Amino acid sequence: MTKKLLQQYKKRLVALKTRIMGEIDHIAKDTLGQPQREASGDLSSYTYHMADMATDNYNQEFSLNIASAEQRTLMEIDEAFKRMEEGAYGICESCGHAIAQRRLTAVPYARLCVKCQKQTEGRRRR
């Protein structure tokens, strides 16, 4: 892989990391940083209904799941930076062949080529 192409992927990874960190920060501020009544917009003095509490709990859990998935992506991005430093970026960790540029453009933190990724996902489904 050329240095120029590696720099392009590095820029994509930095931009992706910045965007994801902003999303996680947004989730933390809007959903997790407020008491449930405030997060739902219910500031009235009326009794808090169980259905409202269930909805709020669901929304909070949903937001936590999104933040968790985004956190895993951030870890994958950091691993991609390490592979760049080690000279292993763009090489499939399973078969050792080059990962297609189209795949790296779509998923710049990819560890596996398309073929090996399909095999891995097929094993997980069973």
pLDDT digits (tens, 9 = 90+) for 33-91: 665 555 555 555 455 667 777 877 788 888 888 889 999 999 999 999 999 999 999 99
Mean pLDDT value across the chain: 87
Q: Please tell me which of 23-27, 48-52, 80-84, 122-126 the model is most confident about, judged by mean pLDDT.
A: 80-84
Sorting pLDDT into bands at 50, 70 and 90, what band is 1?
confident
Sign of the torsion angle spanned by Cα atoms 35, 38, 42, 46: positive
The DSSP bridge partners found for residue 98 are 91
The reported pLDDT for the residue numbered 12 is 97
Written as one letter, the residue type at 84 is M
* Residue 27 and residue 67 in contact, taking contact as beta carbons nearer than 8 Å: yes
Runs of H (alpha helix) within 1-126: 3-27, 36-40, 50-86, 101-106, 114-125
| CB contact burial 71-99 (16+ within 10 A = b; e otherwise) | eebeebbeebeebbeeeebbbbeeeeeeb
Could you tell me which residue, 80 or 122, shows the higher pLDDT? 80
Could you tell me which residue, 60 or 32, shows the higher pLDDT? 60
The reported pLDDT for the residue numbered 125 is 78
The reported pLDDT for the residue numbered 121 is 92
